[in-house]
Amino acid sequence: MKSTLKRLAIAAAVALSLPALAQTAEGEVRKIDKGARKITLKHGEIKSLDMPAMTMAYQVKDAALLDKVKEGDKVRFTADKVGGTYTVTSIEAAR
């Protein structure tokens, strides 16, 4: 019994320490601010972040991501909450 409870406690601790699974979302680039490493996206619902459809400015994980798209592009992206800030972790122009 003790070993089962110990295994469950370890499994729960590991599960809680993992980041949320990123969900690919679709949107449109509204603004790019390379100096601030931010991108403003109009997007649909992002269930993994419990976020309704909206237009919002995001930090980007890597400034090089901003070179992959331009204002007006339709995009697919992933976002996650990193250090309390919503952050785009990948992005590509939709084809």
- Average pLDDT, consecutive stretches of 10 residues, N- to C-terminus, the chain (95 residues): 64 50 87 97 93 96 96 96 93 90
Identify whether 13 is part of a domain.
no
Identify whether 29 is part of a domain.
yes
- Where in the sequence is the domain holding 49, given as residue range(s)? 21-93
Q: Which pLDDT value is given to residue 77? A: 97
* C-alpha separations of 12 from 9, 37, 48, 52 in Å: 5, 35, 19, 28
Q: Which pLDDT value is given to residue 10? A: 62
Identify whether 41 is part of a domain.
yes
Identify whether 60 is part of a domain.
yes
Q: Which pLDDT value is given to residue 9? A: 57
* C-alpha separations of 21 from 13, 33, 42, 56, 72 in Å: 16, 27, 21, 20, 27
Q: What is the CATH number of the domain that holds 39?
A: 2.40.50.320
